[in-house]
Amino acid sequence: MERYQVAIIGGGSAGMTAASGMASLGAKVALIEKRNSLGGDCLHFGCVPSKALIKTANMSHDMHEAAEFLGLSISGEMSFEKVKERINQARSTIQSHDSSDRFTDLGADVYFGEASFESDHIVNIGDGESIYAEKIVIATGSKPVIPPIDGIETIPYVTNESIFDLPALPAKLGVIGGGTVGLEMAQAFSRLGSEVTVFEGADRLFSKEDRDITRFMENEISKELEIRLNTKVVQAAYENEKSVLTVEQKGQQTTEAFDVILVAAGRKPAIDSLKLEQAGVEKVKGFIHTDATFRTSRPHIFAVGDTVNTLPFTHAAGEEAKTIVSNVLFGLRNTLDHSNTPWVTFTVPEVFHLGMTEQEAEDKKIEYKVFRAHLNEVDRFITAHETRGFVKFITDKKGYILGAHAAGTDAGEWMQLAVYAKKNKMKIGTLSRMVYTYPVKAGAVQKAADMFWREKLFDGPLPKLTKKFFDFKFKLSGGKVTPDQQPES
């Protein structure tokens, strides 16, 4: 039986980050992935293909808008095969960066097989092969939740794992779930030409966002999609080659037929096949239970990424993996403050989220201030005709950033300034005192930050004091212009 200092189960963002870091430091590492290639859900079914799809859909949408504005005509039909070709090109390019050779070159051994625990130190990889590891990292990611809808198994629904393999663009797409995945895919398919309806059980979309963002985005997204809030899907059936959903809203039931149903009702840890009980690893509410250092109930076994109840994002998983490298190898107790971890919903407009919302600040009874800027006040957005959206900062009474939120074109790019400022405990005024190239979209951040100084300098006692000073100086001069103020002849 091969022996390792560390075995890492899962070859996605977290697993690859941990394996790279530990192998680079000289540890003997085994990286185990159940699929026949590395990259995880993000590469194969998540971030990469979805963003390639979104970009392609936005190209189509923008092209038609531009043609209408410029008086041009567009002929021909959109090729869904070409759409999928762009998606596959993106996947294959990034896959080459995540090849197993990269890790074997670092000295790690890469195994492809379904991992499960035989004991707290022995991991079975399938076909009777097992390895021994002093330390083990679980980074197996997550999988789609299939809600208990009567008859759901009778329809050929798709999830994020299969939607990119559709043979043709559906004329009518029904989406169960109005979360990040559901809304991103719904808008993308709508922009490609599908008629899309989103069914959401809650009373609002973007439920984790600041309420100002929620209200704005619900209005924006409803311009392109049919949104059914407070709606429960109670039954599914397959009739005449259509998927028929029975939905209930305000006690009334209706039925509607679709060509394709996307189930986007959330995700759960992909840990069912690991046989955690054989290793003595405990779960809480379906997630692996860890302490703040990502140690499980077995101190030599760690868990990161979507297997634990933190933030379900690729970049969060990668940061957790960086955090545990020294914990695993050297016994340190490093932790990660996710209050400085942002996320972005890649709809149009994009939605950026960092830290507290205004409602969370209220609930915690924090004395806070709000600084805003609307994109229709920012020259770069005006010239690009992309003025829909705004920026909102929440600070404490001294100006230290508690939260930063935005909706707007490319918000995920230009709002990264806020992450740096918050992580480094800067006041919002610091963002105002930077020199910004003119004109750039980050000018929205500058304009919001300028409001801090406007309030501090012009809304407080200073203007009254300076007015008294200048009035006094004017009186001393007898109401005359002093020599140093004389205009040149």
Question: Is 153 annotated among the ligand-binding residues?
Answer: no
Residue 307 has pLDDT above 80, yes or no: yes
Residue 324 has pLDDT above 90, yes or no: yes
> Which pLDDT value is given to residue 462?
74
pLDDT in tens, 129-142: 999 999 999 999 99
Question: Is 184 annotated among the ligand-binding residues?
Answer: yes
Question: Is 140 annotated among the ligand-binding residues?
Answer: yes
> Which pLDDT value is given to residue 66?
95
Give residue limits of the domains in the chain: 2-144+268-338, 152-265, 349-458
Residue 280 has pLDDT above 70, yes or no: yes
Give the homologous superfamily in CATH for domain 2-144+268-338: FAD/NAD(P)-binding domain (3.50.50.60)
Q: Which CATH code fits 152-265? A: 3.50.50.60
Question: Is 39 annotated among the ligand-binding residues?
Answer: no
Question: Is 310 annotated among the ligand-binding residues?
Answer: no
Question: What average pLDDT does range 313-325 have in this prediction?
Answer: 98
Question: Is 443 annotated among the ligand-binding residues?
Answer: no
Q: Which residue has the higher pLDDT, 472 or 118?
A: 118
> Which pLDDT value is given to residue 488?
58
Mean pLDDT of the chain: 95
> Which pLDDT value is given to residue 10?
98
Give the homologous superfamily in CATH for domain 349-458: FAD/NAD-linked reductase, C-terminal dimerisation domain (3.30.390.30)
- Under DSSP, is residue 123 helix (H, G, I), strand (E, B) or coil? strand
Gap between the Cα atoms of 160 and 43, Å rounded = 12
Residue 294 has pLDDT above 90, yes or no: yes
Asked, colleague to colleague, whether 2-144+268-338 and 349-458 share their fold, the answer is no
Question: Is 141 annotated among the ligand-binding residues?
Answer: yes
Evaluate whether 302 touches 138 at the Cβ level (below 8 Å): yes
Evaluate whether 269 touches 108 at the Cβ level (below 8 Å): no
Residue 482 has pLDDT above 60, yes or no: no
Question: Is 70 annotated among the ligand-binding residues?
Answer: no
Residue 190 has pLDDT above 90, yes or no: yes
Residue 455 has pLDDT above 80, yes or no: yes
Name the least confident of 183-197, 242-256, 408-422, 472-486.
472-486
Question: Is 200 annotated among the ligand-binding residues?
Answer: yes
pLDDT in tens, 200-235: 999 999 999 999 999 999 999 999 999 999 999 999
Question: Is 234 annotated among the ligand-binding residues?
Answer: no
b/e for 240-279, b at 16 or more Cβ within 10 A? eebbbbbbeeeeeeeebebbbbbbbbbbbbbbeebbbeeb
> Which pLDDT value is given to residue 487?
56
Question: Is 107 annotated among the ligand-binding residues?
Answer: no
Question: Is 360 annotated among the ligand-binding residues?
Answer: no
Question: Is 174 annotated among the ligand-binding residues?
Answer: no
In one-letter notation, the amino acid at residue 73 is S
Question: Is 179 annotated among the ligand-binding residues?
Answer: yes
Gap between the Cα atoms of 370 and 375, Å rounded = 16
Residue 425 has pLDDT above 60, yes or no: yes
Question: Is 450 annotated among the ligand-binding residues?
Answer: no
